[in-house]
Chains A and B, each alone.
Chain A
Amino acid sequence: DIQMTQSPSSLSASVGDRVTFTCRASQGISNYLAWYQQKPGKVPKLLIYAASTLQSGVPSRFSGSGSGTDFTLTISALQPEDVATYYCQKYNSAPRTFGQGTKVEIK
């Protein structure tokens, strides 16, 4: 099975900072990659699909890139409401594996 590895596991940044974190697949998955945001005590929310397509209603400060095995999620200017754990997920085949998550906090 393909494994999904996210880094870092957590980060702390200031409001307004540009934040980037990564997701690596153990084998190529083309662009079958999604990013989810889960705020504390809340249900996961789809942010990006097809590696770089922003889900409707998601702020434009979020962007995704990558293809094959290496992917990134960028927040161009971190906001207090972005405090959450972010998960990547492959969906080219089963199992639809998630990464272990990156927890984002405000410094």
Chain B
Amino acid sequence: EVQLVESGGVVVQPGGSLRLSCAASGFTFDDYTMHWVRQAPGKGLEWVSLVSWDGDNTYYADSVEGRFIISRDNSRNSLYLQMNSLKTEDTALYFCTKDMSSSAWSAFNIWGQGTMVTVSS
């Protein structure tokens, strides 16, 4: 079964740091571009970041550029999001998701259940 399982979400104070993880199984992890998408409570979906299959290329939403770092460990079938200088507006459910195609940028066909990050003093 193809599966993505996020972890690491907690309550953290503004200015703090946090590392999210996503464990992948059921597919060839190092074939696919991976993403983080977030959803603030009661709000819509916001794409956060992507990392290419080999980890060489990364992109970020303007809202997190310079504060978040996406990475992957293909030997561990794992995706990560290092979140620094956290703000209250980073409070959201963070989803791990993957491109459906290994050969071209594509839609997201598999989503994890999400991990909740709350930034509050």
New contact pairs (17) apart from A43-B114, A89-B108, A96-B105, CB-CB < 8 Å: A1-B62, A34-B108, A36-B45, A36-B108, A38-B45, A46-B100, A46-B109, A49-B100, A50-B107, A85-B44, A89-B107, A91-B105, A95-B62, A96-B50, A98-B37, A101-B44, A101-B45
Cα distance A98–B87 in the bound complex, in angstroms = 22
Task: State the Cβ distance, B58 to closest chain A Cβ, in Å.
Answer: 9
B35 is an interface residue with CB less than 8 A from chain A: yes
Task: State the Cβ distance, A105 to closest chain B Cβ, in Å.
Answer: 16
Kindly identify which residue among B47, B105, B111, B114 contacts A97, using a CB–CB cutoff of 8 Å: B47
Cα distance A34–B46 in the bound complex, in angstroms = 14
Interface residues of B (CB under 8 A from A): 35, 37, 44-47, 50, 59-62, 95, 100, 105-109, 111-114
State the interface size on chain A (CB cutoff 8 A).
26
Q: Judging by beta carbons under 8 Å apart, are B59 and A94 in contact?
A: yes
Total A-B contacts with CB atoms under 8 angstroms apart: 60
Per-position contact with B for A80-107: 1 when CB-CB < 8 Å, else 0?
A: 0000010101011111111111000000
Cα distance A38–B43 in the bound complex, in angstroms = 12
Interface of A is mostly: loop
Cα distance A1–B65 in the bound complex, in angstroms = 14
Cα distance A89–B60 in the bound complex, in angstroms = 16
Residue of A nearest to B47 (CB): A96
Residue of B nearest to A9 (CB): B44
A44 is an interface residue with CB less than 8 A from chain B: yes
Q: Judging by beta carbons under 8 Å apart, are A46 and B45 in contact?
A: no
Task: State the Cβ distance, A33 to closest chain B Cβ, in Å.
Answer: 9
Q: Judging by beta carbons under 8 Å apart, are A44 and B61 in contact?
A: no
Task: State the Cβ distance, A7 to closest chain B Cβ, in Å.
Answer: 14
Chain A residues, Cβ within 8 Å of B112: 43
Q: Which A residues, 44 to 97, have Cβ-Cβ distances below 8 Å to chain B?
A: 44-46, 49-50, 55, 85, 87, 89, 91-97
Cα distance A23–B45 in the bound complex, in angstroms = 15
Chain A residues, Cβ within 8 Å of B46: 98
